[in-house]
Structure 1
Amino acid sequence: MIEFNKAYQLVLENTLELGVEKVPLMQSLNRVLAEEIRADRDFPPFDRATKDGIAVNFSALVHDDHVFHIEGVAAAGAPQQVLQHSENCVEVMTGAVQPKNTDTVIMYEHISITEKGAIINEKVTKGQNIHGQGSDESAGAVLLIKGTKITPAEIGVMATVGKSDILVKAHPKVCTIATGNELVEVNAVPLPHQIRKSNTITLEAALLTRGIPSTSLHLVDDKQAIFESLKSALKQNDVLLLSGGVSKGKFDFIPEVMESLGVEKVFHRVAQRPGKPFWFGVHKELKTVIFSFPGNPVSTFANFHVYFLPWLYTSWNFPLKTLVIQLAEAIRISPPLTRFIQVKTVAENGVIYARPVTENGSGDLISLSKSDGFICLGPREKSYAVGELVPFISTK
């Protein structure tokens, strides 16, 4: 049995190069960018009026009572107009191209318009209310770097520069695998000794929230059948996510079968709770990584978030972010086990705290729906105090 920190490091040392793929712009949401996005022209691409009002040549503001004759109206989306006489003005709308021979915009609220023209009622500063060409970014500037997670904001940036197809990090081919004769389909009526599949369904849903499709298998407690199914799954996938079959029971065949299939065991059993029997291995020839989690629902769910997601982000070269949260109550974690404790986030006096969720062991699937994530607490003699900052893994 190895310590949690060592197991975590070994997982991150066995990532895969997943490659890249090109997808349509709207299908890139929540993906990881695999190319630089550059400005295809200046931003903004022209001097742009930022207020509705009049555009003038500042040199004409000699007399306070000067009346500006209105030569025309410049609308957003229309070609640039030209001010013919510097003592006159052009009405402009927000977003319009600044008329040629003008250098200042005065908003309607600061002028009076009469039959003779526009009169300015407030102090004016040369160049006001104009968003200068290239003042945001110049043509060719890098707007988004590789490894950026694509959110709606990035979608907007890429649309602005005309990127209709985007190069992103490829998703791994993932198969979720349930083990055990006691499992039946979700739509079945289980016998007293049976339960419905939920662990792999939960894993599939967790993958889908990140846009990753997956296939699924159910392995019955027969060594030869497990061998044949896993042999095929190893060839067809980048990642296998198993639930169950790695403890010390008579029908826990997974470690033995993996060895017979040429999978190199990286570790088996970690000093943690939940998930002590966690088995992790790699088939180097096929370049397939295997996460075999214990079969209890909380164990599977916790270890997916603690190990698999950091492994995935590291494979994508996506930076790992460490979240911390304050404890709402003191907790003691005695050696030797690291604990993943389900918590609910609560706001008190403007501060977000983590409050442990009451659970009835690692088989308590219902408790998962009541929590917002896990806190990860290493063993130590001193208790973790109220208000202490601790690592937090969000599952929402």
Structure 2
Amino acid sequence: MLTVADADQLLATHGLTLSTETVPFAEARGRVLAETILADRDFPPFDRVAMDGIAIQFTALADGQTTYPVLAVQRAGEPIQPLSDPRGCIEVMTGAVLPSGADAVIRYEDLSITDGIATLTIPADMVRGQNIHRQGTDRRTFDVLLPAGTVLRPVELAVVASVGQTSVSVLKRPRVAVVSTGDELVDTHQTPLPHQIRQSNAYLLQAALRDLSIDASVHHFPDDIATITAGLSSLLATNDVLVMTGGVSAGKADFVPEVLGGLGIQRLFHKIEQRPGKPLWFGRSADAQRVVFALPGNPVSTTLCFYRYVRPYLQTAMGMSPEPPLFAQLASPVTFKPQLTYFTPARLEATPDGQLLANPLPGSGSGDFTNLTAADAFLELPANPHEFPAGTLVAAWPIG
């Protein structure tokens, strides 16, 4: 049986490699860039007016001139105009090209304009070049604006648009199927018999995957080896990742490990020294093109294993940097005696003095998924020591 650290190492060693695709840039939000975006011109591409006001030649100001006839108006988007008289000025708008011959911009707040004459109230700190965003001061032509591996947020998409690139090469998202097993489960629209329950784990996993912009299909198979074998064989042919829930423990109807082995999926680990979620199973195909996570069927175990192991693995596969855990101080003591890593649901709370507190939530075990509605993280407590007093700094893995 592996430790949590051993499981992390195996998952890192057996990553999934995804190919690339080209998509319209407007549809690339949240995707990972698979190419380098270069500047197609200087940023800004001209000497840019940074404040509404007047453009002057600074020598006139240095000579003590305080009134300037307004010779013209330079608006954003208009071709450059010359400052034909060094003793005059041109009204300029933010974003406009700086008129040729001008080398300073004075804000409207520092002047008044009456009958075509601008009169200054001159602060002592006015300097040549003020309120001008010089050409190329941000980036030069052919500078790297976005390296490959960048996650495309709205601000990065604005950069892509600014260089006139209408499509981008990005890493593909994995094709994922969510699979539940078990005769005890019926679908949400069905009325369960007294010995049955409605399935919920599969829809939890589907929603959690959607948070990664992965649209996963949902499937369910009864506890029958032939049916599970046929179903998984078909799904492995059309998906990169299977995320399963149920059928991986030691019960007489837990057929999933046997079926996966028969389908050529190599087991890389089965069972981790932790509670909950001990029976977690992970494997991949011989060609390393398919991976399978088989999660324990108890809802709390399913939730923990997804956010602690599956989500970071998929983020890495998609070229993202997985979010590390937060670190919080226990608001109340926790005692756990077995020699296992212990995960417990918690509610995180930021205090006015900047501390992050973790409030452990007592529940009724790994089947009590309603307890998770009050939680926003799982706390990870190491196997030793057994006593964790209030104030202990612990890792917290956010959920949802």
Q: Same fold (TM over 0.5)?
A: yes
Matched-pair contact (CA < 8 Å) for 2:174–2:318: no
Specify the code of the residue in structure 2 equivalent to 1:12: A
Specify the code of the residue in structure 1 equivalent to 2:230: E
Matched-pair contact (CA < 8 Å) for 2:69–2:117: yes
Equivalent residue, structure 1, for 2:346: 343
Equivalent residue, structure 2, for 1:106: 106
Say which of 160, 163, 170 aligns to 1:161. 163
The reply to whether residue 305 of structure 1 matches residue 307 of structure 2 is: yes
Q: How big is each residue's C-alpha offset from its partner over 1:171-220, in whole Å with a ceiling of 9 and x where there is no partner? A: 11111001011111111222222111210111111111111111221110
Say which of 250, 270, 273 aligns to 1:271. 273
SS at structure 1 position matched to 2:334: coil
Matched-pair contact (CA < 8 Å) for 2:33–2:169: yes
SS at structure 2 position matched to 1:313: helix
TM-score between both structures, scaled by the size of structure 2 = 0.94
SS at structure 2 position matched to 1:82: coil
CA distance in 1, matches of 2:338, 2:102: 74
Matched-pair contact (CA < 8 Å) for 1:69–1:118: yes
Change (3 A) 1:67 1:234: same
CA distance in 2, matches of 1:94, 1:157: 20
Deviation of 1:383 (Å): 3.2
Specify the code of the residue in structure 2 equivalent to 1:98: L
Deviation of 1:94 (Å): 1.0
Specify the code of the residue in structure 1 equivalent to 2:72: G
Matched-pair contact (CA < 8 Å) for 2:176–2:240: yes
Say which of 385, 394, 398 aligns to 1:394. 398
TM-score between both structures, scaled by the size of structure 1 = 0.95
Task: Provide structure 1 residue ranges, at least 5 long, that are not aligned to the other structure.
Answer: none
Specify the code of the residue in structure 2 equivalent to 1:244: G
Say which of 353, 369, 383 aligns to 2:373. 369
Matched-pair contact (CA < 8 Å) for 2:269–2:282: yes
Specify the code of the residue in structure 1 equivalent to 2:222: V
CA distance in 1, matches of 2:332, 2:357: 9
Equivalent residue, structure 1, for 2:283: 281
CA distance in 1, matches of 2:319, 2:173: 13
Deviation of 1:126 (Å): 0.9
Matched-pair contact (CA < 8 Å) for 1:104–1:128: yes
SS at structure 2 position matched to 1:2: coil
Superposition pairs of residues 1-396 of structure 1, within 5 angstroms: 1-115=1-115, 117-123=117-123, 124-285=126-287, 287-327=289-329, 328-350=331-353, 351-381=355-385, 383-396=387-400
Identity of aligned residues (%): 42
Specify the code of the residue in structure 1 equivalent to 2:36: E
Deviation of 1:324 (Å): 2.5
CA distance in 2, matches of 1:262, 1:127: 69
Q: How big is each residue's C-alpha offset from its partner over 1:62-82, in whole Å with a ceiling of 9 and x where there is no partner? A: 543542111111111111111
Q: How big is each residue's C-alpha offset from its partner over 1:303-346, in whole Å with a ceiling of 9 and x where there is no partner? A: 01111122122223433342332222233343421122211111
Specify the code of the residue in structure 1 equivalent to 2:249: S
Specify the code of the residue in structure 2 equivalent to 1:93: M
CA distance in 1, matches of 2:347, 2:137: 45
Q: Which one is further off, 146-155 or 327-336?
A: 327-336
The two structures, once aligned, show a CA RMSD in angstroms of 1.7
Specify the code of the residue in structure 2 equivalent to 1:73: V
Deviation of 1:265 (Å): 1.2
Specify the code of the residue in structure 1 equivalent to 2:102: T
Specify the code of the residue in structure 1 equivalent to 2:390: V
Deviation of 1:129 (Å): 0.6
SS at structure 2 position matched to 1:17: coil
Change (3 A) 1:270 1:229: same
Q: How big is each residue's C-alpha offset from its partner over 1:355-395, in whole Å with a ceiling of 9 and x where there is no partner? A: 11232211112122221121222111263343333222112
Change (3 A) 1:100 1:346: same
CA distance in 2, matches of 1:74, 1:165: 34
